[in-house]
A and B are shown apart, each in its own frame.
Chain A
Amino acid sequence: MVTLAIDLGTTNSLVSCWKDGEVHLIPTVFESYLTPSVVGVDDKGAIITGAPAKERLRTHPDHTVAAFKRAMGSDKLFKIGSHILRAEELSSFVLKSLKADAEAWLGTTVTQAIISVPAYFNDLQRKATVAAGRLAGLQVLRLVNEPTAAALAHGLHESESTFVVLDIGGGTFDISIMELFEGIMQIRSSAGDNYLGGEDFVDLIIKSIADKHAIQLEKLTGQQLAGFREVAENLMKTVSTQQSASYQLVVNETIDGVLTRQEFATLSEPLLQRVRQPLERAIRDAGLKKQDLNAVVLAGGASRMPLIRSLAAQLIGLIPTSSQNPDEIICRGVAIQVGLYERDASLEDKVMTDVAPYSLGINVHNEHADKKEYQPLFSPIIERNSPVPVSRSDVYYSMHDNQKSISFNIYQGEQRLAKDNIELGTMSIAIPPKPAGEVKVEIRFTYDINGLLEVDAKVWNTDIHEQLIVQGNSVMSNDEIQARLASLSSLKIHPREQLENTYIMMRGARLYEEALGDIREEIGEKLSFFEAILNRQHHEEIKEAAAAIKAFLDEVEAALKV
Chain B
Amino acid sequence: MNCWAVLGIDATQDQALIKKAYAAKLKITRPDEDPFAYQELREAFEQAKHWHPHEQHDQSPISAQKMTASLLNEVFQQDTFSAQATAFKARMLQEQDIFIRLEIEDAMRYIGMAWPAETPFPALVFMAAAQEFDWYNHDPEKSRDQLFEDLLERIWIEYELKMAQSDSIHFRFYHLFSKSKRTAALMHRRIPNWVLRTAGFFDLARGVKATLTHFDTVYAGQACAATETRNCHWWRAYFNETWHLHIWHHLGALVVSLIVAFFSMAFIARGLDAGVGFGYGGSFYCLYLISAVVIQILHRQFNKNKSC
Contacts and interface: CB of A to CB of B under 8 A. Distances in A.
Given A395-B109, A461-B158, A389 B23 contact: no
Contact of A449 (B22, B35, B36, B117): B35
Interface in A435-469: 438, 440, 442, 446, 448-449, 460-462
Nearest to B156: A438
B158 A391 contact: no
Which secondary structure dominates chain B's binding surface?
helix
A387 B39 contact: yes
B23 A182 contact: yes
B38 A389 contact: yes
B161 A460 contact: yes
Contacts of A351: 23, 26-27, 30-31
Contacts of B164: 432
Interface string B135-158: 000000000000000000000011
B65 to A, nearest CB: 10
A183 B23 contact: yes
B112 interface: yes
Contacts of A461: 112, 117, 158, 161-162
Interface in B16-30: 19-20, 22-24, 26-27, 30
Contact of B26 (A184, A442, A448, A462): A184
B32 interface: yes
B57 to A, nearest CB: 15
A181 B161 contact: no
Which of under 10, 10 to 19, 20 to 34, or 35 or more describes the interface residues of B? 20 to 34
B182 interface: no
B181 interface: no
A341 B31 CA distance: 11
A462 B38 contact: no
Nearest to A442: B113
B91 interface: no
Contact of A184 (B22, B32, B35, B161): B22
Most buried by B among A341, A390, A432, A442: A390
A353 interface: yes
A233 to B, nearest CB: 40
Interface string A506-523: 000000000000000000
A249 interface: no
A203 interface: no
B42 interface: yes
Nearest to B65: A393
Contacts of A263: none
Nearest to B29: A351
Contact of A181 (B23, B30, B109, B160): B23
Contacts of A182: 19-20, 22-24
A29 B201 CA distance: 91
B109 to A, nearest CB: 6
A432 to B, nearest CB: 8
Interface string B92-105: 00000000000000
A388 B32 CA distance: 9
Contacts of A391: 35-36, 39
A525 interface: no
A292 interface: no
Interface size class of A (residues with CB under 8 A): 20 to 34
- The winner among A387, A391, A395 for most chain B CB atoms within 10 A is A387
A450 to B, nearest CB: 9
Contacts of B35: 389-391, 446, 448-449
A462 B113 CA distance: 11
A349 interface: yes
Contacts of A390: 35, 39
Contact of A460 (B22, B23, B158): B158
Interface string A497-535: 000000000000000000000000000000000000000
Given A387-B39, A389-B38, A390-B39, A353 B157 contact: no
Contacts of A387: 31, 38-39, 42
Interface string A85-114: 000000000000000000000000000000
A338 B158 CA distance: 49
A217 to B, nearest CB: 48
Contacts of B31: 351, 353, 387-389, 449
Interface in A407-438: 432, 438
Contacts of A183: 23, 27
Interface string A321-355: 00000000000000000000100000001010100
Contacts of A432: 161, 164
A181 B19 contact: yes
Nearest to A459: B161
Interface in A121-164: none
Nearest to B35: A389
B42 A353 contact: yes
Contact of A353 (B20, B26, B161): B26
B158 to A, nearest CB: 6
B24, B36, B161: residue with the most chain A Cβ atoms closer than 10 Å: B161
A390 B35 CA distance: 7
B145 to A, nearest CB: 21
A254 to B, nearest CB: 59
B157 to A, nearest CB: 5
Interface in A169-192: 181-184
B161 A462 contact: yes
Interface string B237-250: 00000000000000
Interface string A452-491: 0000000011100000000000000000000000000000
Given A181-B19, A181-B23, A353-B26, A460 B39 contact: no
Nearest to A397: B157
Contacts of B42: 353, 387
A304 B176 CA distance: 73
Interface in A201-258: none
A389 B39 contact: yes
Contacts of A448: 35
A442 B23 CA distance: 33
Contacts of B160: 438
Interface string B29-65: 0111001101100100000000000000000000000
B150 to A, nearest CB: 11
Given A432-B161, A461-B161, 12 more contacts: A181-B23, A182-B23, A184-B26, A351-B30, A351-B31, A387-B31, A389-B32, A390-B39, A395-B109, A438-B160, A440-B157, A461-B117
17 contacts: A181-B23, A182-B22, A182-B23, A182-B24, A183-B23, A341-B32, A349-B27, A351-B23, A353-B42, A387-B38, A388-B31, A391-B36, A391-B39, A432-B161, A449-B32, A461-B112, A461-B158
Q: Which 4 A-B pairs have the closest CB atoms?
A: A182-B23, A389-B35, A461-B161, A184-B23
